[in-house]
Structure 1
Amino acid sequence: MDRLPSALADGGNVLTPDNARWLAAGVDQAVPVEAVDSHAHVFVRGLPLAAERRHAPDYDATLDAYVSHLRANGLSHSVLVQPSFLGTDNHYFLDVLKRYPQRFRGVAVIEPGTCHGELAYMDKLGVVGVRLNLIGRPLPDLRSGPWPDLLTRVNAMGWHVEIHRGAGDLAALLPALIEQQCTVVIDHFGRPDPELGASDPGLDYLCGTASTGRVWVKLSAAYRNVADASGTSLGEALTHRLLDAFGPTRLVWGSDWPHTQHRDVIDYDASRAALNQWIPDAFTRQIVLRDSPRMLFRLG
């Protein structure tokens, strides 16, 4: 594995001249992956909203603002995730992928009966996964109805299935995905119960899936697992558990920008800085920031 640049070894950030020029000029080009933000959202007010939604932001999270955060924090590549409040209308973030096909990948939200042609179109634009955002929704039976066929097609394209659900329900969802040999990505540390934190039994189950080699976990949005706090301390405890179980090659980091519903307790810089606390060792941290997402999201 490549040696770390000195700035990264010291816990800082570094961009090569080529990457710095791209971020400053907004020009897309193929360059080596240096560090990846594996979970962020872009949107503006006025987009069509999903009929069923938990909230609707009253502000814009623009691409230009996001790229400025990447530049300031030494991130060269990104994975954009369709926001829950936009439902299955992926047009806005797909337009971003068209603009930056080398630097950005995407995770879409789709209906289970979505046709192959639409999936192929999204694949061509850089979509690498589908997200099942199941917070507050009934649990689907992934072994019946349209799901097995969809999962077969997702597997054929080399996509992953991203799960956003509380840790206590992961045991009801993951077996069907693992049986069908899906690549599975778990959002936001597995969303442990705020009252239980790192001792949530759902995390025991999640860690037990590491041996399958099919499950990855995002170290992101620890603040979604606590009440009225940034979640940095909980994130450290959760990261230790997940590193012990999965090792760094099955973990990726995400900013969760623009931190919807939690902008009062976190910002981009603090989100990135938290990873240095969660993983003090620079070599291990570089695997999570660069090598693991490069493989998972087909970057570089």
Structure 2
Amino acid sequence: MSEPVLTWHQKPHMTSVSMPRNATDCHCHVFGPVARFPYADNSSFKPADAPREALFALHDQMGIERCVIVQSGCHGFDNSVVADAIAARPGRYLGVALATPDVTTDDLRALDARGFRGLRFNYMSHLAPGANEAQLRALAPKLADLGWHLQIHMEDQLIEPMSPVLASLPVAVVIDHMGRIDASRGRNQPHFEALLRLLDHHHLWCKVSGSERASRQDPPYADATPFARELVESFPDRVVWGTDWPHPNYRAAPPDDGDLFDLLPQIAPTPYLMRALLVDNPARLYGFEENV
């Protein structure tokens, strides 16, 4: 059996960007340690450990004070690994859970008490399938009642066909990683135009994470950052950003997280946009407490 793959850069360079107070990483993960938090039996992805301590060290290095950890498919529907990390930095760290579409209101309330604020469904060929349209419509009011959001991770060719249902849901909807667009296809590609049309609905949000995934170039991912910047400038009150640490299923060697932080002035080129992206929007979407 081959050794588990380390997916994260162990010595990222220090960013030159000065983080505002309460700067927030709105999309990252933790893996293991598997001796304490085993991977799901049916997961085809079993990476090397990327424990909470390594995530905390990255955040402390770069000046991140708040965080939203997204449950990874490798841990399945047992959200304990994320709950454990949240408990280690209470109030400052929150989570997004994975669950089956028929999750009960009582189960959602139990997750809410542990610091979870949203539910993610994947629509990617390498991940377990998400909820269907009827299931999303049944689930959305339950999430809205809790003040949660629905997080959608989908391949770019699904943006257009999924737009009607997402646009009609009575709950905030967050699109992951700029809709997983391929930056090499250029600005006028139909998938990006579909994303912009979807975001014209005021309950739709977008994570401008994943420039390194959208790019087909080496750092500084010059083909991808203009897409992120346009999203931030077009929808300044409904965008958030994250590192995607520890970079699961990345196409190449793990990116240097310092490079990703260095992109922020290109993505949010004014102090107002930077504060909205890193502080104000996360506070509204996830409900961080003001005094924490």
- Shared topology, TM-score over 0.5? yes
Q: Please state how far the C-alpha of 1:140 moved relative to its aligned partner.
A: 4.5
Q: Please state how far the C-alpha of 1:174 moved relative to its aligned partner.
A: 3.2
Q: Please state how far the C-alpha of 1:261 moved relative to its aligned partner.
A: 3.4
Q: Is the 8 A contact 2:184 2:216 kept in 1?
A: no
- One of 152, 155, 177 as aligned partner of 1:188: 177
Q: Is the 8 A contact 2:183 2:224 kept in 1?
A: no
Name the SS of the counterpart of 2:144 in structure 1.
helix
- One of 245, 253, 257 as aligned partner of 1:257: 245
Q: Please state how far the C-alpha of 1:11 moved relative to its aligned partner.
A: 4.1
Q: Please state how far the C-alpha of 1:264 moved relative to its aligned partner.
A: 1.9
Q: Distance in 2 between matches of 1:78 and 1:53?
A: 25
2:190 maps to a residue whose letter is: P
Mapping for residues 189-204 of structure 1, pairs under 5 Å: 189-193=178-182, 195-204=184-193
TM-score normalised by the chain length of structure 2: 0.84
Is 2:29 the counterpart of 1:41?
A: yes
Cross-structure match for 1:12: 18
Q: Please state how far the C-alpha of 1:167 moved relative to its aligned partner.
A: 2.0
Is 2:84 the counterpart of 1:95?
A: yes
- One of 128, 141, 144 as aligned partner of 2:132: 141
Q: Please state how far the C-alpha of 1:14 moved relative to its aligned partner.
A: 5.7
Question: Judging changes above 3 Å, is the alpha-carbon distance between structure 1 residues 120 and 138 closer, same or farther for their aligned structure 2 residues?
Answer: closer
Name the SS of the counterpart of 2:200 in structure 1.
helix
- One of 47, 50, 54 as aligned partner of 1:61: 50
1:223-269 deviations in Å (ceiling 9; x for gaps): 222346346213311123313432x2111110111112337251222
1:84-115 deviations in Å (ceiling 9; x for gaps): 22221211111222332311110001001112
Q: Distance in 2 between matches of 1:51 and 1:193?
A: 32
Name the SS of the counterpart of 1:249 in structure 2.
coil
Question: For structure 1, which runs of at least 5 residues remain unmatched after alignment?
Answer: 1-9, 16-33
1:226 maps to a residue whose letter is: S
Cross-structure match for 2:212: 223
Q: Distance in 2 between matches of 1:206 and 1:14?
A: 29
After alignment, is 258-267 or 37-46 more displaced? 258-267
Mapping for residues 197-212 of structure 1, pairs under 5 Å: 197-212=186-201
Name the SS of the counterpart of 1:37 in structure 2.
strand
Q: Please state how far the C-alpha of 1:116 moved relative to its aligned partner.
A: 1.6
After alignment, is 205-214 or 105-114 more displaced? 205-214
Name the SS of the counterpart of 2:237 in structure 1.
helix
After alignment, is 118-127 or 189-198 more displaced? 189-198
Q: Is the 8 A contact 1:162 1:184 kept in 2?
A: yes
The structure with the largest helix share of the pair is 1
Question: Judging changes above 3 Å, is the alpha-carbon distance between structure 1 residues 171 and 265 closer, same or farther for their aligned structure 2 residues?
Answer: same
Q: Percent identity?
A: 28
Q: Distance in 2 between matches of 1:140 and 1:62?
A: 29
TM-score normalised by the chain length of structure 1: 0.82
After alignment, is 290-299 or 232-241 more displaced? 232-241
2:248 maps to a residue whose letter is: T
After alignment, is 153-162 or 280-289 more displaced? 280-289
Q: Please state how far the C-alpha of 1:43 moved relative to its aligned partner.
A: 1.6
Q: Is the 8 A contact 2:19 2:63 kept in 1?
A: yes
Q: Distance in 2 between matches of 1:147 and 1:277?
A: 35
RMSD, aligned α-carbons:
2.2
After alignment, is 59-68 or 171-180 more displaced? 171-180
Q: Distance in 2 between matches of 1:50 and 1:230?
A: 33
Name the SS of the counterpart of 2:223 in structure 1.
helix
Aligned residues: 269
